[in-house]
Structure 1
Amino acid sequence: MTSLFVIEANRVLLNQAEGEPMLIKGGITGDSFSVIHSFYRGWIPFGYLRDVQGVWWFDGRKTKVTLVSRRADEFRVLDDDYGLDAMHVYLEDKLIPNSDAASFELLPGSPYFAKDKQRLYVKNGDRFHTWDDIDVETAVARMDYCTDKDHVLHLYQSLSYANGSKDELLGWLQEAHPHVQGWWQPDYNESEHGAEQIQGYWYRTDRAVYYCEEIGGSGRKGTRLVYNLVRGADPASFEVFNDQYARDAEGVYCTWRKATRADSQTFEALGGLFGRDAQNIFYNGYAVVGADRDTFQCLLTSGSLGLSKDNNHVYHAQFVRTSRPFGHPDYVLEQLPGADAKSFTIWSDNGSWAVDQDHVYQWGALAKKLDRASFTFLFDQGVESWAYDKHGLYNANGRRTVKGIDGQTFQAFNRYWGKDEHNVFCFVTGGIQRAADAATFRVTDETGGAEDAYFTYVITDEGTIKKSKK
């Protein structure tokens, strides 16, 4: 069998299926060269290599190596992604900050999870992140589920809480982990049995506090309540701010998570997922990097857009890493690039449309193709949100541009009807009325009545158009 690597004149080369071997860039030499571990992703080779200088990560896509560790004699590999020396853990060529090599191990039962004495590590394809809210002593895994003594976590594109799935894992945990003390044991100390409502979604017993979720949708058959333990919360000193935030003597909590770096004594809720303490602004329990606490304004507290601003920046919620380089993803507040804080204004109640002096924004993101000078917000009607500019007519629900409408000549009569030079449009049905005569079309009342030279039109209670010949 042909070796993957070949040494020529103290250089390391990669053998090719066809043609001459290719020089591996990056600085590795043939002096004391060996392969620690190699594998393929598809047909592309990767792995850890060693020479006299140390340990290298080899990337077959670039035919290049990166020096990972000088501790070549102490280096070991756990699987295709993790390498360890005496002090550190590496993900391919990247040092994982604050990882503990001595206690690092893969969790049996799943290809996705590892842990050390401090946290959980999650790897799924080319996605990787850490997870701090875990009791590592009781952490166990089963394929895309990981659980500790208090919470169930589920991995899809990233890790998230899944306490509503406890019933699915109960039997397996009782059989496979009968000696691990956790929520699946009858003598679990933090059981929600007997919990009483404090306010809203917040409940407590003498021993613990819970945040209650309704699973299955409001009013639907099969709806059930899931009690999420607020880990570490003190029932005696627990105080509720609103449906999202609460505190005890030692910390602040956003739903059942402890808010990052929040001061319990000075914290106040600002509405929705917004809050602040004496030093920082918070959104969804995470401090907002760079926000000016004294001039910060919550522009939209409902929903999940997170639209807000201070004297210097406009902010919106984004599903991104909660910390760099490997923090788990969640909704955090980030600066909206290019937005002018002084002139930024929300025009629709649900945040579907906003503007500053130069730009239009749809659902908290720049709408590059819309013309600010001619942009006009019309109205919200249920889930529909209408606006137009010189280029066309738009519905923010589905980010839809109405085909066939000329924005230059469009005029809206009311919440039912509008027209351009050639077409009549009905906002209720969301479509052009091909049979209507735009030249003679006019509204006759404010309840949906209209006419043209040939027909009268009425909007029915069912949201359809009743057309009658004159």
Structure 2
Amino acid sequence: MWEKPTTWPSAKMLPAGNGYYIIDGQGVCYNTYPVKQADAETFVCHFDFAKDKARCYRMGEPFKDADPASFEVLNYYFAKDKYHIYNIGGADKKVDHETFEVLDTGFQLNEQGRPQKITSYAKDKNVLWMMEYYSQKPIAIKGIDTATFGRINGSYAKDSRYVLWRGKKLKKADPRTFTAFNTNYGKDKTTVFFQELALAGADHATFETVETNVTIAKDKNRFYHFGEEITAAAFAECLKDVLNGG
């Protein structure tokens, strides 16, 4: 899992995206920013986490008092040592260290084959936890049965009682019959949903989405873009962009 940063002769030559690098004459860097006091010889990294013989890091900044010997990465958002669970914001002292378990990798590969963050879930003996792209600490989602909880796709998930969209409960959605069209649209036996909201007026029987696109949809009566009704002409323009790779 741990790997050495790649070495580059100049910061001007770095590839796109965030990452750790060894830049000639500057030592270890996160992107172009020096990782202060990092030991290049023992420095290893994985995702936004890293460690050397003396310290552990996230996004180039050291965790206070983390233990390098036991520090390990759990997924894109979480790491742990023998004392604490960590994320990119710091130590997670509200989670139960002994029973904490991540439920996914926290990422999917984009078109360039690079990891791209998605909604991530974890659990401990007390509650379900969630983190997203801009999260600085995990959010507790109460009332979820972690024994029956599972992901549907990158945004939707469910347990025996609730359907979730990025951690938000869908009111009155039936988890037994819920299916997702994509990461923005789904339906149960009676209702069509856009994200966590019921899509008012949508015709359940004829509602459909467009393959490879998560923003537009239609039924026999209406056309939609990000859950809002649009004209047939506007839908045709959106569809044209999709077919042309836009």
Shorter chain as normaliser: what TM range? 0.5 to 0.7
The letter of the residue matching 1:371 is A
What does residue range 74-85 of structure 1 map to in structure 2 within 5 Å? none
Does structure 2 retain, via aligned residues, the 8 Å contact 1:359–1:371? yes
Q: How far apart are 1:394 and its partner, in Å? A: 1.4
How far residue 268 of structure 1 moved from its aligned partner, in angstroms, is 0.8
Aligned residue number for residue 93 of structure 1: none
Question: Judging changes above 3 Å, is the alpha-carbon distance between structure 1 residues 463 and 206 closer, same or farther for their aligned structure 2 residues?
Answer: closer
The reply to whether residue 209 of structure 1 matches residue 13 of structure 2 is no
Q: Tell me how far 1:462 sits from its aligned partner.
A: 7.0
Within 5 Å, give how 1:415-426 maps onto structure 2: 419=205, 424-426=206-208
Deviation at 1:304, TM superposition (A): 4.9
Alignment partner of 1:430 is 2:233: no
Find 1:353's aligned residue among 144, 156, 168: 156
Determine if the alignment matches structure 1 residue 269 to structure 2 residue 83: no
For 2:87, the aligned partner's letter is Y
Q: Deviations over 1:44-84 (max 9, x none)?
A: xxxxxxxxxxxxxxxxxxxxxxxxxxxxxxxxxxxxxxxxx
Aligned residue type for 1:395? F
**Counterparts of residues 251-262 of structure 1 (less than 5 Å):** 251-262=55-66
Q: Secondary structure at the match of 2:120?
A: coil
- Does residue 386 of the first structure (1) align with residue 185 of the second (2)? yes
Whether the aligned pair in 2 keeps the contact of 1:345 and 1:354 (CA below 8 Å) is yes
Cα distance in 2, alignment partners of residues 379 and 318 from structure 1? 21
Partner of 1:313: 127
Give the 3-state SS of the residue equivalent to 1:394 in structure 2: strand
Tell whether the 8 Å contact from 2:174 to 2:189 is kept in structure 1 after alignment.
no
1:371 corresponds in structure 2 to 173
For 2:147, give the aligned amino acid: K
Return the letter of the residue paired with 2:81: D
Separation of aligned partners in 2, 1:434 and 1:359: 29
TM-score for both structures, normalised by structure 2 = 0.67
Structure with greater strand percent: 1
Cα separation, partners in 2 of 1:371 and 1:434, compared to 1, 3 Å = closer
Q: CA deviation at 1:346?
A: 1.5
Match of 1:362 in 2: 165
For the residues of structure 1 that align with 2:242 and 2:53, how far apart are their CA atoms? 54
Query: Which residue is 1:142 aligned to?
Result: none
Question: Residues 238 and 427 of structure 1: is their aligned pair in 2 closer, same or farther, counting only changes over 3 Å?
Answer: same
Q: Does 1:246 align with 2:64?
A: no
Q: Distance in 1 between matches of 2:41 and 2:217?
A: 55
Instruction: Give runs of aligned pairs for residues 389-408 of structure 1, distance below 5 A.
Output: 389-396=188-195, 399=196, 401-405=198-202
Structure 1 residue 387 displacement after superposition = 1.8
Select the residue among 237, 242, 254 that pairs with 2:42. Answer: 237
Distance in 2, Cα, partners of 1:342 & 1:254: 31
Q: Which of 1 and 2 has higher RCO (CA within 8 Å, sep 6+)?
A: 2
Q: C-alpha offsets along residues 243-281 of structure 1, whole Å, 9 cap, x if unaligned?
A: 211111111111111124321111011221211111222
Residue 111 of structure 2 is matched in structure 1 by none
Distance 1:361 1:269 in 2: 26
Cα distance in 2 for residues equivalent to 1:283 and 1:341:
21
Tell which structure's C-alpha radius of gyration is larger: 1
Q: Which residue of 1 aligns with 2:141?
A: 336
> Partner residue of 2:213?
none
Q: Tell me if the contact between 2:89 and 2:136 (Cα under 8 Å) persists in the aligned partners.
A: no
Unaligned runs of 5+ in 1: 1-191, 213-226, 321-329, 411-418, 436-459, 465-470
One-letter code of the match for 2:200? K
Cα displacement (A) at 1:207 = 5.2
Which letter maps to 1:211?
A: Y
- The AA in structure 2 aligned to 1:201 is G
Q: Which amino acid aligns with 2:20?
A: W
Separation of aligned partners in 2, 1:304 and 1:232: 32
Change (3 A) 1:296 1:376: same
Equivalent pair of 2:162/2:173 in contact (CA under 8 Å): yes
- Work out the CA distance in 2 between the residues paired with 1:340 and 1:400: 22
Secondary structure of 2:33's partner? strand
Displacement of 1:312: 2.6
CA distance in 2, matches of 1:354, 1:319: 17
> What displacement does 1:373 show?
5.1
Contiguous gaps of at least 5 residues in structure 2: 1-7, 108-116, 211-215, 223-238
Is 1:313–1:339's contact at 8 Å kept on the other side of the alignment?
Answer: yes
- Distance change (3 Å), C-alpha of 1:385 and 1:231: same
Q: Is this contact kept in 2: 1:370–1:389, CA < 8 A?
A: no
Q: 1:425 to 1:306 in 2, by over 3 A?
A: closer
Shift of 1:391: 4.8
Q: Does 1:280 align with 2:84?
A: yes
1:287 Cα deviation after fit: 1.8
TM-score scaled to structure 1, two decimals?
Answer: 0.38
How far apart in 1 are the matches of 2:168 and 2:137? Answer: 15
Distance 1:236 1:333 in 2: 33
Q: Distance in 2 between matches of 1:463 and 1:243?
A: 31
Mapped partners of 1:386, 1:194: distance in 2: 45
What CA distance in whole angstroms lies between the structure 2 residues aligned with 1:319 and 1:271? 13
